[in-house]
Every structure is written in structure tokens, then in C-alpha cells.
Chains A and B, each alone.
Chain A
Amino acid sequence: MAVTPAAKLDAQKLRADFAVFDEVVNGKPVAYLDSASSTQKPRQVLDAMREFYEHSYANVHRGVYTLAERATAGYEGAREKARAYVNAPSSREVIFTRSATEALNLVAYSWGLENLGPGDVVVITELEHHANFVPWQFIAKKTGAEFAHIPIDDLGELQLDALDEIASRGNVKVVANNLVSNTLGTINPVEKLAAWAHEQGAIMVVDAAQAAPHKTIDVQALGCDFLAFSSHKLCGPSGIGVLWGKRELLEGMQPFNFGGEMIRSVSLERTSWNELPYKFEAGTPAIAEAYGFGVALDYVSEVGLDAIEAHEHDLVVQTMDALAEIDGIRIFGPPADRRTGIVSFELENVHPHDVAQILNWENVAVRAGHHCTQPLMTRLGVAATTRASFYLYSLPDDVDRLIAGLHKVKETFGV
């Protein structure tokens, strides 16, 4: 990862934007190492949302009065920011959803139900988050399509030499993959997969929930057809996410939800759909959340994705080096230079839930569990892992406290 020194970020300085770190226990703020699950929110986002509610709030796309115009401008402004963030050709292709999960469900239902059938193959990977796995498994069953997976090797990297065998099973119609694994941090070769998918006549669906906060995304360079990401993992509010899709695909799809906003006209006999993106935005959306999401995109962009990536890389190296020194620790996933800011591990003879519980005594917050990747857990031969994950406000001291906490775990369990 070639990064110029100018791209460095000052995490200590950025922490002034996050009130959560003002709260101290025994003189220390929380060592928040669960950003892959959800990030903390800077006051820039919170202040902007409050300001929006106080001065610019009404329903969108309806009223002709000033407040409604302000609200609509705020909401649509956020859509344009989301478009620019992933370099999408048009903001008409940017659909606001409740979450990345809902965005992926939208594709599985609206595109999958209409376009899949017996003889077709839906391809996912062994390290997929359930959000990009279960909808496809369900729709494949419902339509009679085959559900195939790309296996991973022992380092948690996709085994692309399995693709030929998968292609021999039928007409590959969908390839769905996360750009970054939420459990292992693996950066997946989505560009290669997209090219292969298109050779097969399939669409490429990318779950970028774990990638978008940490690395620059360009949907045109990736060559994918759909891409989903969420606000809450990149300093924005929860309850809002984005589905980007190629216009011709979105135009050919039926709506996912029905109601207000998504219609052009309704009569007792028939209803016609609104234009993109509104066709897919039934009901009053999460207006202030969308606005806050836009502010979060500005915040993260201003810090700089290259700087964030480099910062997290340093923390990952520090963590992996320190963990390697502890007896009984097994680290999962690829080497530091092929992952983002995520380190999953297990401590022999201690369940991750117990590890996380004892770390909490020291005010160190990590995630323990299967991380919504149970097929991956099965492949790794574990029920769960402990996961430390970083963001732009994470400090080397957080890692030191994690390591000290793990010694406390060993002491408590006598391992």
C-alpha cells in the first residue's frame, strides 16, 4: 500500500469531534474497537441533523412551501453526495434504502424473482455476510435456481479456480460478493469477479457496506451492476443506506415496496410507476437521516479515504504483531496488506463471548460472535470469533489496551 506521508490523519485530533470519547472510566475513554459493526458519530453530523430538523424539515417532494423545498433540497443533495462518493454516472441510479441489507434484498426480490428459474445459478461466496447470502438463498429456492458458492482458502481468500466448475452447473445469472469481508477484512477481487460474471451473462451485485467507509469506491471501475452500502458504518446515522444500480437494470425491474411516492398514477384499474429513483422509494423516507448521511460522506471525504486506509493499516499491523506474541491466539484472515481495518481471532479454550465480557471490564469494546457469517465460521471450524475493528478515531493506545485485556482474560480463565 503506497501512501504518501501527506495522507496521514491525526486520530487524536479527530477525536475532539466525537463526544463519546469525553466520557471516561478510571481516567480512560472507551477503547471502541467495534467500528466494523457501527461507527461513532461526529458532532458535525449530529449538529447538522439537529439544524436540519429545526430549520429545514418537512416531508419531501410534496409541499410547495419553503420548508418543503429546503427539506427536498437537503434530501436530494445527499443523493448527489452519495452518487459522487461511489462515482456513479447519475444520481437517478442512487436509491435510498433503510440499510445496505434492504438494498440487497431489493435486488434479490425485484431482480431475482423476475429473472431466475430452474437451470440458472446464483453464485455467492463462503465469506458473505448473511445480508448478501440469505436473500439469494431464499430467492434461489423460490425460483428453482441453483445456489452455488465460491470457496475460500485457509487465509480467507476466494478460490477463483473454482469458477469454471461453477459455470459448468448451468446459466450463471447472479454473482454476489462483498468488496470487503466484515469478519476477516479480506479485500475481495470484485473487478475480476465482475468481468467473469459478465462473460457468463450474469449481473454482479456488490455488498460494499464494509468497504465504503474505508476505501475509495468507483462503481464504474469495479464494473459491477449493483452496489450497496450504509450510512451508519461511516459516521452517519443508522436507518439509511444506498443501492446504486445500472439504470437499464433498474428501469426493467418491478418495485420492491408499494405505496406513496413510488407511483406515477393510480386508478381503480391499474397503477403505473414513478421514474427512477422514486420508483424504489415508497413511503416517507428517512429524510434527516439521508441529510446526515450526506454530511457524514463529506466528513469522511475530508479526512480522506487514503489517509483512513493507511491509518487502519498501521493499527492492523500493530494488532497482528502483538497478538502473534500471545500464546493460544489464532488470527484469522489474510496478511495485513490484503485486508482493511479488521482483525478476527480466537483465544484457545475461551469462548469469544467470555473474551469480550472480560475486555469490557477494562472498557475495551470488541465484537464477539459469528458476525452474521455462519457459513464462514463453519469453514474456519469455529462457532464464533473475537473481532477488533478500527476507524479514523482509533488509537494505538486502544490496541495496547486490547492486548492488556487479553492477558487479563488468560489470567481469569487460567489459560
Chain B
Amino acid sequence: MSDLDQQMYREVILDHYKNPRGHGALEPHDAHAEGQNPLCGDEVSIFVRFGADGDTIDDISFEGRGCAISQAATSMLTEMVKGRKASEVAVLPRDELLDEIGIPLTPIRLKCAILGLGVLKVALHKAKGTPLPEEWRGMDGDDLTIG
């Protein structure tokens, strides 16, 4: 085991995993999407409520089950995007989230880390017609899975 290895489960990741922020369904909500990562069966469901301007993400929550990386990353994502504009979040570069997560990720685990971000962008797409992230294009709207 190397130091690099251990960083993957640094305290902040385990904290978000065990005590996820913004956890649970949000009712009523303005935007919602679900997605799976078929590699490991990770599931994330995201709910968004917009502010009076119809663009600001006033509240956001998620439900899901999966590995520490996927669930912690989604928890961190909800904190990151709260109060920001939907139009801006719809094109949020994945690196911004990855910087926040701040751990070395193999290509396979990268898919776990960006699952929540993809699902959020799908939710915004369904509610506001913002662009879909590349890896989700061509998927059926109600049955989104990244490969």
C-alpha cells in the first residue's frame, strides 16, 4: 500500500460517505433524474428546486446507494452547486468537481466520482433543456445509464 492509495479514503471522503449532505428526496421539486453506473450498480437520484428567478439552484438533494466514492462525490456536489445558476452548472467542467474531491482516481473509479454530476446535468436537461454531458447522449431519457 502506498500513501497515494490511502488518500483515496481520506477523512473528508469517508465523512461525506457516512454523513451525506443533502440526503433524501426533495418534495416538491422542479428537476429530477436518476442514473446508474452499470460497472458496480451505483445508483444516484437527484432532486433540484429553483429559486424565484427559475435559474438559481435554491435547494438540491440526492438519494442513492453505491461505493464511497460515488456517494461522497455526490454529497460534495450538492454543497458545491447550491446557490449557483442552473445554466452555469449544466456546463460545469468535471475537473471542478474532481479538484474538490481531491483524490487520485483510476479511470474506473472516475466513473463513480462523476456519476452524480452527470445525473444532475440530466435533471437540468430535462427541466430546462440545457445540454447533456457527452457520456449521456443518445440514452433514453427515463433509462439513463453511463457505460
A: which residues have CB within 8 A of B? 350-354, 357-358, 361-362, 368-370, 374, 377, 383-384, 412-414
Contacts and interface: CB of A to CB of B under 8 A. Distances in A.
B90 to A, nearest CB: 28
Contacts of B41: 369-370, 374, 377, 383-384
A368 B40 contact: yes
Contacts of A362: 1
How big is chain B's contact interface, by range?
A: 20 to 34
A377 B112 CA distance: 19
19 contacts: A351-B65, A351-B66, A353-B40, A353-B66, A353-B69, A353-B112, A354-B9, A354-B68, A354-B69, A361-B5, A368-B40, A369-B40, A369-B41, A383-B40, A383-B42, A383-B65, A383-B66, A384-B41, A412-B14
A14 to B, nearest CB: 29
A324 B66 CA distance: 24
A353 B9 contact: no
Interface centre among B8, B39, B42, B67 (most CB of A within 10 A): B67
B34 interface: no
A384 B67 CA distance: 10
A377 B9 CA distance: 26
A354 B38 CA distance: 16
A383 B9 contact: no
A401 to B, nearest CB: 13
B66 A369 contact: no
Given A369-B41, A370-B40, A351 B67 contact: yes
B51 to A, nearest CB: 34
A358 B14 CA distance: 13
A370 B109 CA distance: 16
Interface in B33-58: 38-43
Contacts, number: 51
Interface in B99-123: 109, 112
Nearest to B13: A354
B140 to A, nearest CB: 16
A164 to B, nearest CB: 33
Given A383-B40, A383-B43, A354 B5 contact: no
A354 B103 CA distance: 14
B43 to A, nearest CB: 7
Contacts of B2: 361
B102 to A, nearest CB: 17
B1 A369 contact: no
A350 B69 CA distance: 11
A223 to B, nearest CB: 35
Contacts of A352: 40, 67
Given A351-B66, A353-B40, A413 B14 contact: yes
A225 B38 CA distance: 32
A177 B109 CA distance: 33
A369 B36 CA distance: 13
Nearest to B71: A351
A61 to B, nearest CB: 37
Contact of B67 (A354, A361, A374, A377): A354
A134 to B, nearest CB: 12
A384 B39 CA distance: 10
B14 A361 contact: no
Contacts of A361: 1-2, 5-6
Interface string B9-39: 1000010000000000000000000000011
A83 B67 CA distance: 44
B101 to A, nearest CB: 15
A370 B43 CA distance: 13
Contacts of A368: 40
B8 A384 contact: no
B62 to A, nearest CB: 16
B40 A357 contact: no
Contacts of A351: 40, 42, 65-68
B37 to A, nearest CB: 9
Interface string B59-101: 0000001111100000000000000000000000000000000
B43 A369 contact: no
A358 B40 contact: no
Contacts of B69: 353-354
Contacts of A357: 8, 109
Contacts of B43: 383
B104 to A, nearest CB: 11
B44 to A, nearest CB: 12
A351 B43 CA distance: 12
A376 to B, nearest CB: 12
Contacts of B38: 370
Most B CB within 10 A of own CB, among A357, A368, A374, A413: A357
B9 A384 contact: no
A180 B42 CA distance: 26
Given A368-B40, A369-B40, A377-B41, A413 B67 contact: no
